[in-house]
Structure 1
Amino acid sequence: MNRRNFIGRTAVLSATALLPLSSFSLMRQPKYKMGYQLFSVRTDMAKDPLATFKALKEMGYEDFEFYGFDADKGLIYGYTPSELKTILDDLQLSITSGHYSFSPYLGKADEALKHYVDQCILAAKAMDSKYITWPYIAPEQRTLDNFKLLSRKLNHIGEQVKEAGLGFAYHNHGYEFEDYGGQTGFNIILNETDASLVKLQMDMYWVMHSSKLTPKELIDKQPGRYVMWHIKDMDKISRDYSELGNGSIDYRSILPDPKKSGLEYYYLEQGGNFKTSPMQSAADSAEYFKKHLRQYL
């Protein structure tokens, strides 16, 4: 090595030594696209979906989870799934999961549910989405017997969706961790659904809000099953939603190992309690995530 090369290499090494450890992680190419749950900006999506997508892209979001499939009209945000896919392709964006309206079918005949799932499958395939997600059950449905019924329905849907070449997942809130006759709804779902058919979308806010176990501890019980995460913060006083970094959840300490989780996609989210506006909250959370959490994902 000649003197000039030696001096140049030494200068690079010296400069590198001054970088904080997190900078090495930040220099890596992220493994996952930064995602957002579009329920968070539902008013903006209702007014102008295209402008909203463009603004979210400017913030750094590249992947999305939608909600609001109108099965009767076959529309999402006023577009057919194929039209929406064209818009996303033009913007180099993607929708990898959707929250579909399964709750009304919990007490209906299996044939009605099967027909609805077929419609969901067609929509997901048209958008090139990998996952169909059951997001919610209504308050009047939250009983021990209904969680057992739900588990059977989840298995049936999971089998139907898997046969179509897609993935199916269940999204938790807080009520699954309440006591129902000595059991939690979440444990019923864990124990009475087939892990090969029904994956899980962990909402970390609700786990920290209502579960006795941490996200890491839940994943330890069934590693590889939590293929999607929702990441949102908790207001320090009201325990309502908050922008990332403004709340009480220290994600730098509680984020699980993505590989152990089986993680494929994550979505930042804030369903309400916006500091100024939904879009400003999306921007604030994006900036915090890129600065403090991107290195982990």
Structure 2
Amino acid sequence: MDRRKFIENTGTLCLSALLPISTYSMPVKNKYKLGLQLFSIHQDMTKDTVSTLKAAKAMGYEDFETFGFDSGKGTYYGYKAIEFKKILEDLQITTNSGHYEFASYLTKSDDDLKRFVEQCIKGAHILDMKYIVWPWIAPDQRTLDNFKLMAKRLNVIGEQVTASGIGFAYHNHGFEFIDQGGENGYDIILKDTDPSLVKLQMDMYWVMNSSKHTPKELISKQPGRYVMWHLKDMDKVTRDYTELGNGSIDYIKILPNPVESGLKYYYLEQGGNYANSPMQSAADNATYLKKHLQQYL
């Protein structure tokens, strides 16, 4: 073999040695964990938390979004945060996001809000959460003035939460899209909040139910900001919740580009109108996603 050929061959071997092992044999790591918003099975969680989480894990769920934090006691589902963390570790599952009850602090003092946020941060840190979410406001709070006030509060909370090393996001329902004299709450939230402090968790069901825009259109206006998604289907007649694949939302067609979205986590959710039971609906939803949306696993 001449010197030139030897160098070429040697270079090829060296380059091959530098390639990641995954190129040859290691399985590709999942893009996303199959997530479940625990509001979907809230009664089961409050009755028997550990058995319910075990059953959900057996369905294929790996990541869980909490609901129902008690800031006074520092508990999730009746367990101190450190105890709940141990349950998650023992089951080898995670909770990367949590919904917290910010609505009651919309008009409270800055000091009251700051103290509540600090309790949320404390709990979230113990659970190693990546996001704290403002999920809802009460019907009597849904005025344009209150949406403007909420936007200010979202920025304040976002600054406090972000400084702690955790992300902060707002979760939409349908009421934000209701027109109020040429304006709506969602436009105010998008316009008056700082994208670096307030990320967005898009509930696809409510966008399809109540918005004039598609998920793809909303994301094209705020690329990179929709770091989480909620997926649930819409009954073809009543427009209520239903199991994935039973309703009118074709997720195979409507899901946006996750890279453009900035997607970090997604959660299946069904808050009612179960065909059989909450746990069976959670199982059916997981089965549908694993069959039809494998690219999100």
TM-score exceeds 0.5: yes
Number of residue pairs matched by the alignment: 271
The answer (yes or no) to whether the contact 2:174–2:206 under 8 Å persists in 1 is yes
CA distance in 1, matches of 2:183, 2:209: 18
Match of 1:43 in 2: 43
Q: Which residue of 1 aligns with 2:159?
A: 159
Task: Kindly provide the amino acid, as one letter, of the partner of residue 283 in structure 2.
Answer: A
1:173 corresponds to which residue? Answer: 173
Per the TM alignment, residue 294 of structure 1 is displaced from its structure 2 partner at its CA by: 2.2
- The alpha carbon displacement at 1:29 in A equals 4.4
Q: Distance in 1 between matches of 2:28 and 2:161?
A: 35
Conserved in 1, the CA contact under 8 Å of 2:147 and 2:189?
yes
State the Cα deviation string for residues 234-286 of structure 1 (Å, max 9, x = none): 01110000011111100000000000000000000000000010000000111
Q: TM-score, normalised by structure 1?
A: 0.90
Which residue pairs with 2:144 in the alignment? 144
The DSSP-based 3-state class of the residue aligned with 2:271 is coil
Could you give the per-residue CA deviations for residues 2-27 of structure 1, whole angstroms, max 9, x where no partner exists? Answer: xxxxxxxxxxxxxxxxxxxxxxxxx9
Superposed, 1:274-293 pairs within 5 Å as: 274-293=274-293
**Secondary structure of 2:293's aligned partner:** helix
In 2: Cα distance, 1:169 partner to 1:74 partner: 21
- 1:122 corresponds in structure 2 to 122
Q: CA contact under 8 A between 1:63 and 1:96: conserved in structure 2?
A: yes
Letter in 2 for 1:265: Y
The 5 Å alignment of 1:233-252 reads: 233-252=233-252
The 2-side partners of 1:181 and 1:106 are apart by 23
Residue pair 2:241, 2:272 contacting (<8 A) in 1 also: yes
Q: Secondary structure at the match of 1:169?
A: strand
Match of residue 4 from structure 1: none
Asked if structure 2 preserves the Cα contact closer than 8 Å seen for 1:233 and 1:244, the reply is yes
Q: Is the 8 A contact 1:30 1:294 kept in 2?
A: no
What is residue 14 of structure 1 aligned with on the other side?
none
Q: 1:109: which partner in 2?
A: 109
Give the letter for the 1:98 counterpart.
G
| Structure 1 contact 134–169 (Cα < 8 Å) conserved | yes
Report the alpha carbon displacement of residue 180 of structure 1 after superposing the two structures with TM: 2.0
Indicate the residue corresponding to 1:82 in structure 2.
Answer: 82
The 3-state SS of whatever aligns with 1:205 is: helix
Aligned counterparts of 2:40 and 2:223: Cα–Cα separation in 1: 28
Deviation at 1:74, TM superposition (A): 1.1
Checking the alignment, whether the CA contact within 8 Å between 1:144 and 1:181 is kept in structure 2 is no
Q: Tell me how far apart the structure 2 counterparts of residues 153 and 92 of structure 1 sit (CA, whole Å).
A: 35
Letter in 2 for 1:212: K
Question: Counterpart amino acid of 1:284?
Answer: D
Structure 1 segment 218-229 matched on structure 2, within 5 A: 218-229=218-229
Q: Deviations over 1:32-65 (max 9, x none)?
A: 0000000000110010000000000000000010
Q: Which consecutive residues of structure 2, in runs of 5 or more, have no partner in the other structure?
A: 1-26
Return the offset for 1:30.
2.8
* Matched residue type, 2:133: T
Counterpart of 1:10 in structure 2 is none
Contact 2:31 2:296 in 1 (8 A): no
1:203 maps to a residue whose letter is D
**1:181 shift after superposition:** 2.7
Q: Could you tell me which amino acid in structure 2 is paired with residue 272 of structure 1?
A: G
1:176-191 to structure 2, matched below 5 A, reads 176-191=176-191
Whole-Å Cα distance in 2 between the matches of residues 118 and 268 of structure 1? Answer: 28
State the distance in 1 between where 2:243 and 2:49 align: 22
Deviation at 1:293, TM superposition (A): 1.0
Find the counterpart in structure 2 of residue 193 from structure 1: 193
TM-score by length of 2: 0.90
The alignment-based identity, stated in percent, is 67
Q: Call closer, same or farther: CA 1:128–1:46 in 2, change over 3 Å.
A: same
What is the distance in 2 between the residues matched to 1:233 and 1:294? 17
* Contact 2:274–2:281 (8 Å) recurs in 1: yes
Shift of 1:105: 0.4
* 1:81 CA drift (Å): 1.0
Separation in 2, partners of 1:180, 1:74: 38
Residue of structure 2 equivalent to 1:295: 295
Match of 2:65, SS state, is strand
- 8 A contact 1:30–1:295 mirrored in 2: no
Consecutive unaligned residues of structure 1, counting only runs of 5 or more, are 1-26
Counterparts of 1:261 and 1:28 in 2: how far apart (Å)?
Answer: 22
2:243–2:285 contact (8 Å) kept in structure 1: yes
Root-mean-square deviation (CA, aligned residues, Å) is 1.0
Q: CA deviation at 1:128?
A: 0.3
